[in-house]
Amino acid sequence: MSIKVIQPGLLSSIQDFGRTGYAQYGVPQSGVMDRYAAKIANLLVGNTQYEAVMETTLMGPTLQFQEEMLVALVGLEAVVTLNDEKLALLKPFEVKNGDVLQLKQITKGTRLYLAVKGGFLTEKKLESRSMYEPVTSSGLLRKDDELKVAEYKGEKEKAFAHIKFEAEKYESSQLEVFPGPEFHRLPEELKGELLTKKFSISKNNSRMAYQLEEKLENELPSILTQPVLPGTVQFTPGGNLIILMRDAQTTGGYPRIFQLTEESINLLAQKKQGDAIEFQLKQYEK
């Protein structure tokens, strides 16, 4: 069973929850940018949250189904058609051989997730199907790709159409963060500014990192290369704030002043250029 990619759209890829245990070899974690939305998509078709899904960004692909399948789409708002008929998000639906799905445009948020019953069975490398070149042969879907999926046995009754997607979570501009390893080295005045100022997302945003538009004066020197994670906020000597995302490198030499919570990474993954964010400090429980 497979799905043919008629047009790949913009930055579309297959992702699961990524690779763990390979940072020592310099391999990024990768995986879905918004784990919450991807999890809901999988649960709607009766999968576990860990099955591979299709992640689309801003403008999605055109897909042709080669067999009958059970499918779900999860995101905030998007224009989607099945055989030129408008289709609603957040509800599992069956497709037949030859049906054409067009994920035309994401109109609210940034990313949309497509799950199929049984999951995508595409190339698996280092225990994950997450596309990331050069770990996988390609980082993005390409025209005429044939995407293998699990066989569908008509088990629609095992899907969970009643699952609620809490879209209101994404209305917030507040990113919850924990203090990073170098946060204590910041002057008190600068700490206050970081926690009261609103920042905006620059045009430099990707699966690797989001850079913020506003700069702050920074007198902290660079550090010896240290481990970083998705959600690490780096503060460069030039005063730039960089928030690392799922495809980020595994080490870095800039001070690590914050670490985003998992929910905050999901939230940020749906923000786009010009959107406002602010940091809300949490403390580690003792």
**Before 134, cis peptide (omega within 30)?**
yes
Is residue 151 domain-shared with residue 212, that is, in the same domain? no
Is residue 8 domain-shared with residue 30, that is, in the same domain? yes
Is residue 72 domain-shared with residue 199, that is, in the same domain? no
Q: Which domain holds residue 216?
A: 172-281
Could you tell me if residue 286 is inside a domain?
A: no
Is residue 46 domain-shared with residue 145, that is, in the same domain? yes
Does pTM surpass 0.75?
yes
Stretch (H or E) spanning 233: strand 232-235
What digits encode the pLDDT tens for the residues 70-115? 999 999 999 999 999 999 999 999 999 999 999 999 999 999 999 9
What digits encode the pLDDT tens for the residues 262-275? 999 999 999 999 99
For residues 3 and 6, give the distance between their C-alpha atoms in angstroms, rounded to a whole number: 9
What digits encode the pLDDT tens for the residues 28-54? 999 999 999 999 999 999 999 999 999
Is residue 194 domain-shared with residue 161, that is, in the same domain? no
| φ/ψ (deg, to 5) at 225 | -55, 125
Is residue 21 domain-shared with residue 152, that is, in the same domain? yes
Is residue 164 domain-shared with residue 264, that is, in the same domain? no
Of the candidates 168, 198, 214, which is a domain's last residue? 168
For residues 169 and 244, give the distance between their C-alpha atoms in angstroms, rounded to a whole number: 21
Q: Note the pLDDT of residue 136.
A: 94
What digits encode the pLDDT tens for the residues 181-191? 999 999 999 99
Q: Note the pLDDT of residue 161.
A: 57
What digits encode the pLDDT tens for the residues 18-32? 999 999 899 999 999
| φ/ψ (deg, to 5) at 208 | -85, -45
Locate tokens 């100022």: which residue?
197
Is residue 161 domain-shared with residue 195, that is, in the same domain? no
Count of CB atoms situated within 10 Å of the CB of 226: 14
Q: Note the pLDDT of residue 151.
A: 87
- pLDDT range class, residue 159, cuts 50, 70, 90: low
Of the candidates 137, 168, 199, which is a domain's last residue? 168
Stretch (H or E) spanning 203: strand 199-205
Number of domains observed in the structure of the chain: 2
